[in-house]
Structure 1
């Protein structure tokens, strides 16, 4: 499915990716349209699934989640669906990608301490092998690709 968007749509998406709380008035001024025109474009971007929602960036450390870990997960034979459900039900799992290669999943966990990480990984051990890396920093955070 290919989506063609023009420069104004790109500007709208870029502005909202930087600050999803922009008022319609400010957004309209930034992209050079009237508020009704901007509102119509926003509606079309949403209907086409290009804009799928609006969210806040949250400082996880300020909420007590001092560690992040990337975990490669390789389910044991016959455990793929069970592992997937376990990961989906885990509140500390903030991202999970199903991947090709040796492992089936790459998971981003946020935890309050190493003990909590150990507990989560212990719960996974009966169903899968895992390889864990602690995140030291994130020089590139989630962002839009060039449009």
Structure 2
């Protein structure tokens, strides 16, 4: 995979879209002082190049009844990842999974209804190997847009 070369206008568009994925082409055009048609073409090019991979709503987990957020580290003892991928496919509480270096093999971001629910989820995960769980007190920086 090769990196695409981005100019300052591309970066300003990407920053604006990361902050508000629902921004209209007219709004984006005002942000970068270009015509809406030129901005439309640039955004299309960024999408086709795979720089922009999608648009999504950011959800407040507490407001939908999942107030407990945890990072679960899994030390996976085997190279057969099929059971791990099956667990991910059947455990919607796992929001993110990252294969990492170090003593642990995976770091998972988990949302749960309660501490008891978190215990149930981590119990399922621990069926694959030893886990270490860190409950998130707060998130001073939840998401940061990539900027130039």
TM-score band by shorter chain is over 0.9
Tell me how far apart the structure 2 counterparts of residues 7 and 110 of structure 1 sit (CA, whole Å).
Answer: 37
Q: Name stretches of at least 5 consecutive residues in structure 2 with no aligned partner.
A: none
Match of 1:20 in 2: 21
**After the TM superposition, which of the residue ranges 70-79 and 100-109 deviates more from structure 2?**
70-79
Whether contact under 8 Å (2:29, 2:35) holds in the other structure is yes
Whether contact under 8 Å (2:74, 2:126) holds in the other structure is no
Query: Normalising by the residue count of structure 2, what TM-score does the alignment of the two structures yield?
Result: 0.93
Using the TM superposition, give the Cα deviation of residue 89 of structure 1 relative to its aligned residue in structure 2, in angstroms.
2.6
Match of 1:51 in 2: 52
What RMSD over aligned residues (CA atoms) do the two structures have, in Å?
1.4
Counterparts in 2 of 1:11 and 1:78: CA distance versus 1, 3 Å: closer
Q: Name stretches of at least 5 consecutive residues in structure 1 with no aligned partner.
A: none
Using the TM superposition, give the Cα deviation of residue 82 of structure 1 relative to its aligned residue in structure 2, in angstroms.
1.0
1:40 and 2:37 aligned: no
Tell me how far apart the structure 2 counterparts of residues 116 and 86 of structure 1 sit (CA, whole Å).
Answer: 16
Match of 1:69 in 2: 70
Whether contact under 8 Å (2:72, 2:122) holds in the other structure is no
Using the TM superposition, give the Cα deviation of residue 79 of structure 1 relative to its aligned residue in structure 2, in angstroms.
5.3
Query: Normalising by the residue count of structure 1, what TM-score does the alignment of the two structures yield?
Result: 0.93
Whether contact under 8 Å (1:71, 1:133) holds in the other structure is yes
